[in-house]
Amino acid sequence: MKYESQSVAKNYFIFAMVLFAGQVVFGLIMGLQYIVGDFLAGYIPFNVARMVHTNLLIVWLLFGFMGASYYLVPEESETELYSPLLARIMFWVFAAAGVATILGYLFVPYSKLAELTFNDLLPTMGREFLEMPTITKIGVVIVVLAFVFNLGMTILRGRKTVINMVLITGLIGLAVFFLFSFYVPDNLILDKFFWWFVIHLWVEGVWELILGAILAFTLIKVTGVDREIIEKWLYMIIALALISGLIGMGHHYFWIGPSEYWLWLGSIFSAIEPIPFFMMVVFAFKMVRERRLEHGNQIALTWALGTAVMAFLGAGVWGFIHTLAPVNYFTHGSQITAAHGHLAFFGAYSMIVMTIISYAMPIMRGRPQGNCLKAQKLERVGFWVMCISMLGITLALTVAGVWQIVLQRLPDSANALSFMTTQEQLHPIFWVRLACGVAFTSGVAIYFTSFFVGDKRGLVVAD
Amino acid sequence: MADNFTKGMARNIYYGGGVFFFLLLLGLTFDTMLVLPDRDHRENITEAVAKGKHLWEINDCVGCHSIMGEGAYFAPELANVFDRYADSDNDGVGDDEATFEAFLQNWMAIQPLNVPGRRQMPQFNLSKEDVHSLSEFLIWTSRVNDNDWPPNKQG
């Protein structure tokens, strides 16, 4: 660790992993509820489990992004963090708000939670992924502003690298677009139109800048390739991400009210969206091939390559298969969407956070060349089990989606099966998905175990 | 990438492309705002429709159902539930508002169904007036011009 204040990242990473474990548990509950419909129905209804599952994901990714930023910005800026104290305080504020919100979901009926949190004063609850109470949303705004301020001040007084600038642009975008979550008009169509300004412009926009910056930083560190080359790639990848992704938002506007021209714009531009992800794969492998040093932390390298590949598959390939309007007409809101959501979020965002954790955590624990070989080996097993199981989940959901469309969407109204009947037909495939979910959980357990095994000094390199 | 393609060029493509397409997005958003009133029929958003939307939100209906294909995929699509259950002349478009509301009043009242193994909708303890609002909201939603989605009544 080059700067003392980088260590504020540690708590963020640890807490992110705790929330990740929680997310996976609720995923298993829902996986079972898809088959045994009334499992835990009186205690954890499906909608509650889903809120917990998705909100934990969002919050742990935010914790991960924050940890990554607090770690890499001082090192890139070549100066201590502007205020480590502010970063520490905001950690506890965010953690407390997050935990309180999740407990609220679990132990209070949602409408009661709305009442308790004075939702009527500024109603923002009850929209997908943005279910958190208004006061939690305000808390998130405060935490993110303090975070962006802290990093901005650090960058201002230090070295302004491309990675720093791209990262801070992404984070400012994240903060700005989140503000649309406070706009909840009576008109459902307007509501939906601007809801996507949060969701799409996050995951298919500014988050890609954050992802690119973290990946570029890690690659510089573990490959030793010249910064000039890496930065050129970073610029091109995020350029194409924005060029395709901004108007690519149209693929969400096909069937929710906006005009027909979005069918063309959304199809054409989102068809380009896989390209930046493909470039990311080429980039990562090329940098590794041209590496100028042999870093002891080989598993961090594996994570970086894995992120590029899995992000390309999840966001690129699985995004493309249902993004053209004539296809999306049949796949919209089916299990295909769920398949894409799982692989894209895991491949792009969960994995980039685990990449930086894999690189930075050992250093913060006094292991500059990474964990010992035994721990790295175990982490590698965890890596593969998680990746393969998530591909299994995705394939199962894709088969479920195709079969759902065949039974429920392709026939005419007289011959199509109802939604509920169709879902019963899909049970065997949902069992496969659940089995893959169990495998994924074991992968997470193996991965977590790797933090605690082997030589506490980490990898010892003989000079 | 080729050596004669410099970092400066890449940076210019990023900033130029990013700004251009963001401005294009703003322009298209502006245009959509002009077009939407004719497609969403906002003149029909009564107090009941607005209240129905609010009830839809504070009970997290979207946590199980989808509406216009967005939401969870655990329970049926509801943007066309009016077309599905109140289409008396069988032309694919709902027309019988009274029948639909009666259906919804009954459906909400008999939850949870407690059929073993079946996905279970909770009892939300909504008043008759609440369910009326919800019904008005779903009827309004079904009439938005959504480029003819979904493909059939089953949603």
| Interface predicted TM-score (ipTM) | 0.97
CA dihedral A208, A209, A215, A220 (to 10 degrees): 160
Q: Find out whether A244 and A269 touch, Cβ atoms under 8 Å.
A: yes
Q: Is the pLDDT of residue A29 over 70?
A: yes
Tokens, residue A99: 């935990």
d(CA A98, CA A54): 13
Q: Give pLDDT, residue A462.
A: 63
Average pLDDT over residues A320-344: 98
- Does this model's pTM top 0.95? yes
Of the candidates A340, A323, A178, which has an alpha carbon nearest to the alpha carbon of residue A249?
A: A323
d(CA B133, CA A102): 29
pLDDT, averaged across chain A: 97
Residue pointed to by tokens 């109603």: A123
Question: What is the DSSP code (8-state) at residue A158?
Answer: S
d(CA A246, CA A240): 10
Residue B66 pairs with which residues in a beta bridge? B71, B77
Q: Is the pLDDT of residue B1 over 80?
A: no
Q: Find out whether A45 and A82 touch, Cβ atoms under 8 Å.
A: no
Picking from B72, B141, B147, the nearest residue to A254 by CB comes out as B147
CB pairs under 8 A between A and B: 229
Contacts of B8 (CB under 8 A, 6+ apart): none
State how far residue B103 is from chain A, nearest Cα, in angstroms: 17
d(CA A404, CA A434): 18
Contacts of B109 (CB under 8 A, 6+ apart): none
Q: E strand or H helix at A251, and its extent?
A: none
Q: Is the pLDDT of residue A463 over 60?
A: no
d(CA A31, CA A338): 12
Collect all residues of chain B within an 8 Å Cβ-Cβ radius of residue A246.
18, 21-22, 24-25
Picking from A231, A332, A410, the nearest residue to B69 by CB comes out as A332
Tokens, residue A214: 């973290």
Assign A435 a pLDDT band (cuts: 50, 70, 90). Answer: very high
Which region among A144-148, A458-462, B150-154 has the lowest average model confidence (pLDDT)? A458-462
Q: Give pLDDT, residue A460.
A: 86
Q: Give pLDDT, residue A27.
A: 98
Give pLDDT tens digits for A340-349.
999 999 999 9
Please answer yes or no on whether A413 and B150 come within 8 Å at the CB atom: no
Please answer yes or no on whether A184 and B57 come within 8 Å at the CB atom: yes
Give pLDDT tens digits for A129-148.
999 999 999 999 999 999 99
Which residues of chain A from 256 to 315 reach within 8 Å of chain B, CB to CB?
256-260, 262-263, 265
Q: Is B52 left (phi over 0), alpha (psi -120 to 50) or beta?
A: alpha
State how far residue A105 is from chain B, nearest Cα, in angstroms: 11
Residue of B nearest to A189 (CA): B40
CA dihedral A383, A388, A390, A393 (to 10 degrees): -160
State how far residue A458 is from chain B, nearest Cα, in angstroms: 37
Q: Find out whether B132 and B155 touch, Cβ atoms under 8 Å.
A: no
Collect all residues of chain A within an 8 Å Cβ-Cβ radius of residue B39.
189, 257-259
Tokens, residue A39: 């499992």
For chain A, what's the residue count?
463
State how far residue B14 is from chain A, nearest Cα, in angstroms: 4
d(CA A353, CA A310): 13
Q: Which parts of chain B fold into alpha helices (H)?
A: 7-40, 47-58, 81-85, 97-109, 128-142
Tokens, residue A302: 């594996």
Residue of A nearest to B6 (CA): A232
Q: How buried is A354 (Cβ within 10 angstroms: 0-12 exposed, 13-18 middle, 19+ buried)?
A: buried
Residue of B nearest to A400 (CA): B73
Of the candidates A173, A175, A183, which has an alpha carbon nearest to the alpha carbon of residue A204?
A: A173
Please answer yes or no on whether B119 and A37 come within 8 Å at the CB atom: yes
Of the candidates A75, A218, A62, A219, which has an alpha carbon nearest to the alpha carbon of residue A155?
A: A75
Please answer yes or no on whether B122 and A41 come within 8 Å at the CB atom: yes
Collect all residues of chain B within an 8 Å Cβ-Cβ radius of residue A225.
none
Q: Find out whether A338 and A398 touch, Cβ atoms under 8 Å.
A: no
pLDDT, averaged across chain B: 96
Which region among A1-5, A67-71, A178-182, A213-217 has the lowest average model confidence (pLDDT)? A1-5
Q: Is the pLDDT of residue A22 over 90?
A: yes
Collect all residues of chain A within an 8 Å Cβ-Cβ radius of residue B53.
186, 188, 191
Picking from A263, A338, A416, the nearest residue to B73 by CB comes out as A338
Average pLDDT over residues A30-51: 97
